[in-house]
Chains A and B, each alone.
Chain A
Amino acid sequence: MSALSARIAGIGWWSDGLPDWAAARAFASTGALPADAPAKPAPTLLAPNERRRAPPSVLVALEVALAACGDAGIAPDALPSVFTSTHGDLGITDYMCATLAAAPAEVSPTKFHNSVHNAAAGYWTIGAGCMRTATAISAHRASFAEGLVEAMVQLATDADAVLLVGYDTCASGLLGTVTRSEGLLGAALVLTREGGGPRLSARFDDDEAAAGSGPLAAHAQGNAMAPMLPLFDALAAGAAAVALHAGPGRRLLLDIDHG
């Protein structure tokens, strides 16, 4: 295949203990955790009452998306977006299943419309006033790699710049006995065809990607979106290449030219 390429114009990050990309980068180089990290994201794109009601998946996705747009200096309403998440909001799935088992007629209409996999994408486009295309995908452990590929093929075909957001939440309730995911983790990239920032090129090959061994991979390894972490360790460390899991026996090879 012809290699896909993109510039990384902006980065957003949120994990438990590391509330932004600057903190994550500092942690990756020094191991230092900020003393005053907030317990949960509070994206300013949502009005305070919406922020109180929004599920963690929406909070983290909007937080990192807005940070990446700010870092890139691109208005949020200008960007098509790709939201990728292994499981969507696990707390809402637990709520839906538990309520259906106990009292199906009592399902909350708000929780139901928040249960769609594209809830974060929907709140993002509403909050940003963005009428561009937004998608929401899942590809199990390859969710981030497939999201990155979709963002890069949008650059190759339809768009000059695109927002990619990857996130997963904490498993809870009975669902948590079969589905493993800990903490809250999100990261976002604004990718552009031209301009500054590290240049990324990507291609698939046949092999298993190694599990991440960097500081960020270790920090958030329990979260279902952890397969994206080797890329963020590579970005923090200025590494020239990294591979991401891209399905059974497949990996996405990424070359990074930090310029």
Chain B
Amino acid sequence: MPPLAIRAFSATTALGRGVGAQAAALEARRGGLRRNDFGPAPLETWIGRVDGLEDAPLPDALAGWDCRNNRLAWLALQQDGLPAAVEALVARHGADRIALVVGTSTSSIGASEEGYARAQVDARGQPCFPPELQRPIVHTPHSLGDFLQHATGLRGPCVTVATACSSSAKVFAQAARLIGAGVVDAALVGGVDTLCGSVLFGFNALGLVSPEPCRPFDLARNGLSLGEAGGFALLERADEGDAGLQLRGYGESSDAHHMSAPHPEGLGASLAMRDALARAGIEAAQVGYLNLHGTSTPANDAIEARAVAGLFPDSLHAGSSKGWTGHTLGAAGIVESVFALIALRDGLLPGTLNSTTPDPDCGPQIRFDNARGDIAYAMNNSFGFGGNNCSLVFGRGAAA
């Protein structure tokens, strides 16, 4: 594929607001997980919660979209010069030539949950939502995309991608296609997911939630820690001689196996990684850092480790950052792409937090310690329910 320049990028997670906070916590190996304090009857688990959302309502003009998820979207959008970078792209191309493609798993379903929890009775004696939650837009998946469209003024195609935990990796692929087909010249991509009852109790019902901070790829791992996050990247067709960070490839596949369990041989994961490498036109050995999906569930990590060992040489530095942020679900794609971009930009290669004893399925690629190194390419894996897989390859213009 033609390389796409990344004009700006940012993430806001339990580690803090913006790229600086992410890089500092990754480098210091300072995790963001805390004992679950979300909701009225918290499950025994650890979460990656973003501080301050409760006290950060949306500006008055956007109050119709107010909810936890859109608050996090707004907060994440204010970081790392994103508003100025969006403005510059609008000046260059026009608002109708910039797509908005954002991922989420549950969007603002937390607002719908609250409507049920605080249900009232209307004048006819029928149950109803409290008046302040009688806003249809926050009870539908496109709440996120619609909010951001109004918040940014962008007028190109506006889409919310919701393929569970691969959502905000797939936004890069969809945006690359829109730019490649000439529908637009640039795209704001990203993803936002917030903690809510659905995911905490839903993953708990599947037996996938750990009572302790998650330990990806550890022999004793016993489930995931959930988190919330938001992040964005601005993509534009790369200019000749552009030396900055770039999206170089994407790969997508389906497991065709099971709704909530990965393919036992990791076939879908391998397909997505191979597809991404092929589209980037590089060999597996050229990749210096791979941010793994690495959820810390027994099944995912063993299968992903074997798929990585089957594809990459021993020299690859691969790690899971879920121990820092928790599994941020529909935001994991963008957050972990930002971590891959940090690795490319700064040479900071994060290992895996909280883990001490590698599962025997781990090849030498799976690293627990951080490392430093000047790398040419970084990858990110994001896999979701329904067997939905996406891998991304990032590089630098100078490496071309």
Partners in one complex: yes
A121:B163 contact, CB within 8 angstroms: yes
A104:B41 contact, CB within 8 angstroms: yes
1/0 contact trace for B32-48 toward A, CB 8 Å?
Answer: 00000000010000000
A129:B256 contact, CB within 8 angstroms: yes
Knowing A107-B205, A112-B198, A135-B161 touch, does A98 contact B116 (C-beta < 8 A)?
Answer: yes
Docked Cα-Cα span, A70 to B263, in Å, equals: 27
Contact of B183 among A1, A112, A125, A134 (CB under 8 A): A1
Knowing A101-B116, A131-B256 touch, does A206 contact B96 (C-beta < 8 A)?
Answer: yes
B163:A140 contact, CB within 8 angstroms: no
- The residue on A at minimum CB distance from B117 is A101
B183:A153 contact, CB within 8 angstroms: yes
Knowing A109-B205, A118-B163, A178-B115 touch, does A86 contact B386 (C-beta < 8 A)?
Answer: no
A156:B177 contact, CB within 8 angstroms: yes
Q: Does chain B have a CB within 8 A of A143?
A: yes
Q: Which residues of A contact B109 (CB under 8 A)?
A: 93, 96-97
Chain A 120-148 interface residues, beta-carbon cutoff 8 Å to B: 121-123, 125-126, 128-140, 142-143, 146
Q: Does chain B have a CB within 8 A of A172?
A: no
A118:B159 contact, CB within 8 angstroms: no
B161:A87 contact, CB within 8 angstroms: no
Q: Which residues of A contact B253 (CB under 8 A)?
A: 131-133
Q: Which residues of A contact B129 (CB under 8 A)?
A: 174, 177-178
Chain A 160-192 interface residues, beta-carbon cutoff 8 Å to B: 174-175, 177-180
Q: Which residues of A contact B117 (CB under 8 A)?
A: 100-101
Q: Which residues of B contact A248 (CB under 8 A)?
A: 149
Residues of B in contact, count (CB < 8 Å): 74
Knowing A1-B182, A116-B162 touch, does A140 contact B137 (C-beta < 8 A)?
Answer: yes
Q: Does chain B have a CB within 8 A of A108?
A: yes
A107:B202 contact, CB within 8 angstroms: yes
Q: Does chain A have a CB within 8 A of B267?
A: yes
Docked Cα-Cα span, A2 to B109, in Å, equals: 37
Q: Which residues of A contact B384 (CB under 8 A)?
A: 116, 118
* Min C-beta distance of A193 to chain B, whole Å: 12
Q: Which residues of A contact B254 (CB under 8 A)?
A: 121-122, 125, 130-134
A142:B139 contact, CB within 8 angstroms: no
* Min C-beta distance of B185 to chain A, whole Å: 9
> What 9 A-B pairs come out closest when comparing CB atoms?
A122-B386, A117-B162, A112-B202, A133-B252, A156-B181, A125-B254, A138-B141, A101-B116, A100-B197
List, sorted by A's number, 30 A–B pairs whose CB atoms are closer than 8 Å: A2-B182, A88-B162, A100-B116, A108-B205, A112-B203, A117-B162, A118-B163, A118-B164, A119-B259, A122-B259, A122-B385, A122-B388, A125-B386, A129-B256, A133-B253, A135-B388, A136-B161, A138-B141, A139-B158, A140-B137, A142-B158, A150-B159, A153-B174, A153-B178, A157-B176, A174-B127, A177-B128, A247-B155, A247-B158, A249-B155
